[in-house]
């Protein structure tokens, strides 16, 4: 178990960077969105893939997550959780929405 102070400081600076990026996205800084994507896409894609179990669907969800972040960054509230938690919650919601839509479409074509 690595409980070194450096590890904790690194995690804190990572959280601070993500928070700064969200504030920059609110100001329409597209380079901030690009940096946020680079720092978080592996985790977001991993969750999307775990939920959808389909590579193409997971990619669609990831695109939707970052589009939603761009459109709704001003709604982020630090008091409600970390930036990463917010991203993952958005990912989960969008992935489940996609699965519901697919199921609904499949039922519609079966009739």
Can you give the residue ranges of every domain in the chain?
5-110
pTM to 2 decimals? 0.83
Q: What share of the chain is helix, strand, coil (3-state, %, to 5)?
A: 85, 0, 15
Give per-residue pLDDT as tens, 57-91. Answer: 999 999 999 999 999 999 999 999 999 999 999 99
Q: Is the pLDDT of residue 14 over 90?
A: no
5-110 is classed in which CATH architecture? Orthogonal Bundle (1.10)
In the numeric block, which tokens belong to residue 74?
């001003």
- pLDDT recorded at residue 96: 98
Q: Which helix (H) or strand (E) holds 107?
A: helix 83-110
The rounded mean pLDDT for the chain is 91
């Amino acid at each position: 178990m690595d409980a070194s102070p450096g590890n904790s400081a690194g995690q804190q600076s990572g959280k601070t960077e993500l928070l700064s990026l969200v504030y920059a996205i609110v100001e329409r800084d597209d380079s901030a969105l690009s940096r946020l994507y680079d720092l978080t896409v592996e985790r977001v894609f991993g969750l999307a893939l775990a939920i959808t179990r389909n590579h193409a669907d997971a990619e669609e969800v990831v695109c939707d997550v970052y589009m939603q972040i761009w459109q709704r960054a001003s709604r982020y509230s630090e008091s409600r959780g970390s930036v990463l938690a917010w991203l993952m919650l958005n990912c989960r919601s969008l992935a489940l929405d996609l699965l519901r839509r697919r199921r609904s479409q499949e039922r519609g074509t079966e009739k």
